[in-house]
Amino acid sequence: MLLIWVAAIAIAFLYIYNNKKNKHVYECAKKFPGPKAYPIFGNSLDFATNSNGIFKKIQQFTNQYDRFFRIWNNGRLFLFCKDYQDAEVLLSNNVNITKSDQYRFTLPWIGQGLINATGSRWRAHRKIITPTFHFKILQEFLDVFNRNGLIMCEKLAAHAGKGPIDVFPYLNLLALDNICETAMGINMNIQKNSETTYVKAVKTMCKIISMRMFKVWLMPDLLFKMSKYYKMQQDALKILHGTTEKVIKQRRQELREKKDGNKKTEDDFYERKKLGFLDLLIQSEEGSKLTDREVREQVDTFMFAGHDTISSALSFSLYCLAHNPELQEKAYQEQLSIFGDSDRLPTFADIQEMKYLEKVVKEAQRLFPSIPLIGRLISEDLELPGGYLVPKGAEIILLTWGLHRDPRVWKNPEQFDPENFSPDAIQVRNPYSYVPFSAGSRNCIGQKYAMLELKATVAKVLRKFKILPSPYEKDQIELAAEVVMISTTGINLCIESRS
């Protein structure tokens, strides 16, 4: 009984101390609507479920509260917003550029790459890396997308006319092949060797990052290190970092030998293809000043950010086309107008001609944004329109899912309509009402790369297959916001050969 009283007094003392310490935060929070929060627990019990259940709860609150809602979790204030005016204030702000605390779970893998870096480090590295995404360089990557896309279509062709299949794993391996070759300049042939240790390590890390974002008992580092997942993470990191470091070392050696006029030695580590981001980075005048660790963090960041996001976007683009056959036919007719009945591979100029397909991909990203939540840690008080003050130490979570379905902006917001991205429609819309690649100074540096890959891949699928929805109720999508937007039941579609 004495111990119970001591514990109760200690909890009460901490509660009073916390209230006094965070008085400014609490005063600001009173102005924001939200579900009832309980002492100590806050709103954590509302989210004590899996990733699918958490996303459903977020959708519920998004629909229940008009502009924004606040959540208390682990003693911290989270403000979820979906208004384009709030989005503009947040994303155009050049002070509050630090990512949400949830991103810390990616640190063991990608360190202080562009995703996690902040302040002067982020600005310096962004300036160094930006030239590697020049459109002339992106044109060179189209060969990679074409070659790997053909392999993916061969895999899908084996299932044509045989009922529904989950297309996500095929698109995921394709995206991994593409990013390995464009980021590191090596061809791992992942689609043909999907059980390699590197692929398994990538999947393990993505799984662990996702779990730590949603499982409360894995969030504290101390508890995580006591779990079996910590050992799994360490083993995966040894492979991931080891691979990247070996490629960096090999490439630096090749560049030194070339500079010295020596004959380049070949390494059978992986088959080298075209120059990747890694080569371009370490050859640039500013990039060569980066340490091996800094280069590794940037390359690993490309690997992390450049495969799951693309996989999600490709999957939902095909899903939307399958469920809108008339629009799929329109997109297919555009392909015929460009290629006729030939089977030639698209050029960069061909990709630019795919105006309607670009609308399709953008509309799919409106309804199913690859990044459904964008988080910022507020380092200085931030005032939103209407006199609402978000206090220092709070986090703002921008709900791109809700932002993209705002009925004040979008006619029939739940309907798939590529004409939402006609030039006239875009012109009258606030640019911050559609941010699948974020916006402002911290917008996605790879968005042109992503659009090129998405158009090249979807076009290839359209030319070879007709895509149909699964007839089975069990195959209906169940959305979840994990590292990216996914369906926990897969993206199950039927495929029919056009030939």
- Indicate the annotated binding residues for heme: 444
Which amino acid appears at position 143 of this protein? D
Contacts of 213 (CB under 8 A, 6+ apart): 102, 105, 482, 483
Please tell me the distance from the alpha carbon of residue 355 to that of residue 353, in angstroms, as a whole number: 6
- Indicate the annotated binding residues: 444
Three-class secondary structure of residue 396 per DSSP: strand
Please tell me the distance from the alpha carbon of residue 109 to that of residue 330, in angstroms, as a whole number: 42
pLDDT attached to residue 455 = 98
Q: Are 208 and 202 in contact (CB under 8 A)?
A: no
Strand partners, 186: 272
Please tell me the distance from the alpha carbon of residue 455 to that of residue 438, in angstroms, as a whole number: 20
Residues of the chain with pLDDT under 50: 266-272
Which domains are present in the chain?
A: 2-497 (1.10.630.10)
Task: Give pLDDT tens digits for 68-124.
Answer: 999 998 788 999 999 999 999 999 998 998 988 889 999 999 999 989 988 888 888
Please tell me the distance from the alpha carbon of residue 122 to that of residue 103, in angstroms, as a whole number: 15
The contacts found for 284-287 with CB under 8 angstroms, 24 or more apart, are 284/128, 284/131, 284/132, 286/127, 286/128, 287/128, 287/129, 287/132
pLDDT attached to residue 269 = 46
pLDDT attached to residue 263 = 52
Contacts of 295 (CB under 8 A, 6+ apart): 248, 278, 281, 282, 287
Residue 166: which H helix or E strand, with range? strand 165-166
Which amino acid appears at position 132 of this protein? T
Q: Are 477 and 487 in contact (CB under 8 A)?
A: yes
Task: Give pLDDT tens digits for 361-410.
Answer: 999 999 999 999 999 999 999 999 999 999 999 999 999 999 999 999 99
Please tell me the distance from the alpha carbon of residue 46 to that of residue 81, in angstroms, as a whole number: 18
Please tell me the distance from the alpha carbon of residue 203 to that of residue 460, in angstroms, as a whole number: 26
Give the residue from 331, 291, 359, 365 showing the smallest Cα distance to 463: 331
The model carries a pTM of 0.90
pLDDT attached to residue 262 = 58
DSSP label at 381?
-
Please tell me the distance from the alpha carbon of residue 305 to that of residue 240, in angstroms, as a whole number: 14
Please tell me the distance from the alpha carbon of residue 357 to that of residue 127, in angstroms, as a whole number: 31
